[in-house]
Structure 1
Amino acid sequence: MTTPPSPSGAEHAEGSAVRVGVLVPLTRPGWAEAGRHLLAGFELAVDEVNDTGGIDGRPLELVVRDTAADPARASAAVDELAALGVAVVAGEYHSVVARAAAGRADALGVPFLCSSAVLDELTEEPTKWVARLAPAQSRGWRIYADFLLGEGRRRIAVATQPSVYWASGTRVLREHLAPHGGTVVELDTSALTPEALCDALVDHGATALLLLVGHPEPAVPIVRAVRDDVRLAEILIGAPAGQAEFAEWAALLGEDGAGIPFLRYLPEVLGPLGERVEKELRERLGEAPSFVAFEGWDTVTVLAEVLRSHGTDRAAIAESWPHVVVDGTRGPIRFSRTTGISVWQWAWTPIQVVDRDPAEPDRFRILRAG
């Protein structure tokens, strides 16, 4: 007879695995390349944890669920993972999906460590159950707005799709740019073809176009159309959400995909730990790891410390967030309460504005750090 796992995540047979539920987008319409990098970071760190004794002699085991960028699917996955008795849920890349997962985890009393999503309001009310490694959108996108100002770009157009995430980002940009004479006009990509969008950019006299849209559609056709329009030769194309970070972007756009600044959550120089993990992630992925892969590794490293120090009881894990002190690949990780953020937040995540060098598209240039 098999005894079902304890819903609390606290009772385990001696020697049984400590299970961590993992949410990642692995299929379309999710950003599958980001999901692959995030999962690679998880798996590398789990191998290292288990090679050094696991969690008090018990192996750490990932129970992976593909969210496919679907909030409802993520909520259902949290329910399933909770019933399976995982100690904690972690992961996710898409902000709207992470918000759904965080809300469900909060309702069920399951700790959730969000790896990569940045939407400020992950939960409607402050909660003890959720912590996050990625910086809040308001912080990162303000740094991006400062970059635009530094480049003399004040007439900003944003190509948008309906989404709480894109709407939130637009609001951050508008509020930060307005005191400096900056303006933001929204162009709805569901109502405009790429060619019509180019006409609108000319009509508005835009000096920058930010892609607040999905990848590869409609981002790639928009970039091609703008690059081919001689009227827009001087416009700056930007992608604060990081579409240009991944190899697929370069493969689809080639030289057209270079010189498009985006946000990346890495320090200017990796320390010895970061360099070692970067090398091992590169070998595992067969390509340069994105910052998302580092977020995956850091997530498991935080959880291993929590599980070793505070045990596998869900309530104990939730109480541990303010006591975490861990060396991550991108610096020391500590969680704190941050004004306007409802979850425990790593407040000092390094942030860069980077682009692909037009002279060498496989090389990234750091344009601003914050």
Structure 2
Amino acid sequence: MALWLGLIACAQAADPITLGLNYPRTGSYKEEGLAQMRGALLAIDELNAKGGVLGRPLRLSSYDTASRPEKAVRNVDKLADEGAAMLFGGASSAVAIAAGKRARERGLLYFGTLTYSNDTTGKDGHRYLFRECNSAWMSARVLGQYLAKTLPGKRYFYVTADYTWGNTTESSLRETTGTQDPGQNPGLKVPFPGAHLSDYQNALTQAAASNADVLVLVLFGEDLVRAMRISETLGLSKRMQIVAPNLTQSIVEQAGPSLMTGVLGTEPWTWQVPKREGSARGEAFVADFSARYGVYPSSSAASAYSIVYQWADAATRSKSLDSEALIKALEGHRYSLLKGPQEWRAFDHQNVQTVYAVKVRPRAEVMKDPLKQDYFEIVHQLDGEQGAPSLAEWQAERSAAKQPAALQ
């Protein structure tokens, strides 16, 4: 006990290690940002209670990106100037990609939390950027398998946020569902950020006039919520199967389960997953997060929490805060934390993990849960190795973009 108390005292006396969170506190994705902040703070408090990392306590410094790449880049410089040891965050892939590039220039690792664009670990990938969540291609494969089984031969209409996540998600889903022909399966782009209600109204009015059976809303955060409200007004929810490729708990909370009932999407993690997969550590996280914040943790919270722990683990194993040493410790590292096995793949720094196709439960079922947040039914899942692009596919993508065949 005396030794333990002495170690704690030394850790408290040592200079803290700063971790930099670059996240959306405002804008369309602010609810996902709040979840990341909560997950990060819980992880830091737990690690500090155990003595910190390398005998030093951790502290969090954070800046608002507002989901704008140029602001995120400025934040990287602020955090680097403060002496941050590593950076993490996101919700917009454009933010994660831009911030990651600037972090490399400052010699810092950048971990993407919510950044589903294929480009993040594809053509825009580099040695200093790691992605914790799945890619658009991984989402498309698990969704494509489920849709091919349950809704074969249907016509699709796509409404897509016009930036890297939206465009790579649409192209991936078109490929896995065989809906590449825009004549048979049309689509429209809406601006990001800054789309107006009139943009969604116009796109969804055209969807309503089409003969599509499946409406794919490649939108996220508040943008998806706005589109769902218009879809309900136009009666699309009743006559079409709505697919939102990347769902989160906070999106359902904002829109309400009545509006979102039956919507299909994907998640890399939900609070039911630890029990489903027998992860005691994951179940403890759900219990601790719920007790602290009064809500279940979302995939956004789990991502930030996991990143802090994985960075701390790499620093402990390498006995260093140096970025190059941490890269070596992370590449190829396999672990289990909040679910089943995961791996930081060496050739592209993609976190390879199981991805789940989910459907939003009816409101009556949601209300049976003590916290009224049992939103998702897992209807299909795909192992990470089956979902993630192969080395050959990844190299082909890099070659097409005239990028080196190995991360630089």
TM, length-normalised to structure 2: 0.78
Shift of 1:44: 0.8
Residue deviations 1:200-252, cap 9 Å, x none? Answer: 334431111111234434x3343234334457633101211215x21x63454
C-alpha contact (below 8 Å) 1:131/1:321 kept by paired residues: no
Q: 2:103 — aligned with what?
A: 105
Task: Say yes or no: does 1:258 pair with 2:261.
Answer: yes
Shift of 1:84: 2.0
Q: 2:359 — aligned with what?
A: 355
Q: 1:321 — aligned with what?
A: 330
Q: 2:187 — aligned with what?
A: 186
Q: Which sits farther off after the overlay, 58-67 or 227-236? A: 227-236
* Structure in which a larger fraction of residues adopt helix: 2
Shift of 1:272: 0.7
Shift of 1:172: 0.6
Q: 1:174 — aligned with what?
A: 174
C-alpha contact (below 8 Å) 1:216/1:249 kept by paired residues: no
Gaps of 5+ in 1: 1-12
What amino acid sits opposite 2:126 in the alignment?
A: T
C-alpha contact (below 8 Å) 1:21/1:64 kept by paired residues: yes
Residue deviations 1:89-113, cap 9 Å, x none? Answer: 1222221110111111223321112
The separation in 2 between residues aligned to 1:102 and 1:278, in whole angstroms, is 29
Shift of 1:128: 1.9
Q: CA RMSD in A?
A: 2.7
Residue deviations 1:10-50, cap 9 Å, x none? Answer: xxx98111111111111124x11111111111111111111
C-alpha contact (below 8 Å) 1:257/1:356 kept by paired residues: yes
Shift of 1:180: 10
Q: 1:38 — aligned with what?
A: 36
For residues 338-349 of structure 1, what are the structure 2 equivalents within 5 Å? Answer: 343-347=348-352, 349=353
Q: 1:148 — aligned with what?
A: 147
The separation in 1 between residues aligned to 2:236 and 2:159, in whole angstroms, is 18
Question: What's the secondary structure of 1:184's corresponding residue?
Answer: coil
Q: 2:227 — aligned with what?
A: 222
Task: Say yes or no: does 1:237 pair with 2:242.
Answer: yes
Percentage of identical aligned residues:
22
| Alpha carbons of structure 1 residues 279 and 87: separation in structure 2 relative to 1, 3 Å | same
C-alpha contact (below 8 Å) 2:334/2:341 kept by paired residues: yes
Q: 1:369 aligns with which of 365, 381, 404?
A: 381
Question: What's the secondary structure of 1:113's corresponding residue?
Answer: strand
Q: 2:402 — aligned with what?
A: none
Q: 1:161 — aligned with what?
A: 161
| Alpha carbons of structure 1 residues 271 and 80: separation in structure 2 relative to 1, 3 Å | same
The separation in 2 between residues aligned to 1:309 and 1:65, in whole angstroms, is 29
Structure with more relative contact order (C-alpha pairs < 8 Å, separation 6 or more): 1
What amino acid sits opposite 2:381 in the alignment?
A: A
The separation in 2 between residues aligned to 1:24 and 1:299, in whole angstroms, is 14
Aligned length: 349
Shift of 1:314: 2.5
Q: 1:122 — aligned with what?
A: 120
Task: Say yes or no: does 1:303 pair with 2:311.
Answer: yes
Q: 1:3 — aligned with what?
A: none
| Alpha carbons of structure 1 residues 15 and 193: separation in structure 2 relative to 1, 3 Å | closer
TM, length-normalised to structure 1: 0.85
C-alpha contact (below 8 Å) 2:146/2:357 kept by paired residues: yes
| Alpha carbons of structure 1 residues 356 and 176: separation in structure 2 relative to 1, 3 Å | closer
The separation in 1 between residues aligned to 2:70 and 2:229, in whole angstroms, is 33
Question: What's the secondary structure of 1:331's corresponding residue?
Answer: coil
C-alpha contact (below 8 Å) 2:139/2:246 kept by paired residues: no
The separation in 2 between residues aligned to 1:202 and 1:275, in whole angstroms, is 43
The separation in 2 between residues aligned to 1:125 and 1:195, in whole angstroms, is 33
The separation in 2 between residues aligned to 1:230 and 1:55, in whole angstroms, is 54
Gaps of 5+ in 2: 1-11, 367-372, 383-408
The separation in 2 between residues aligned to 1:145 and 1:139, in whole angstroms, is 10
| Alpha carbons of structure 1 residues 163 and 55: separation in structure 2 relative to 1, 3 Å | same
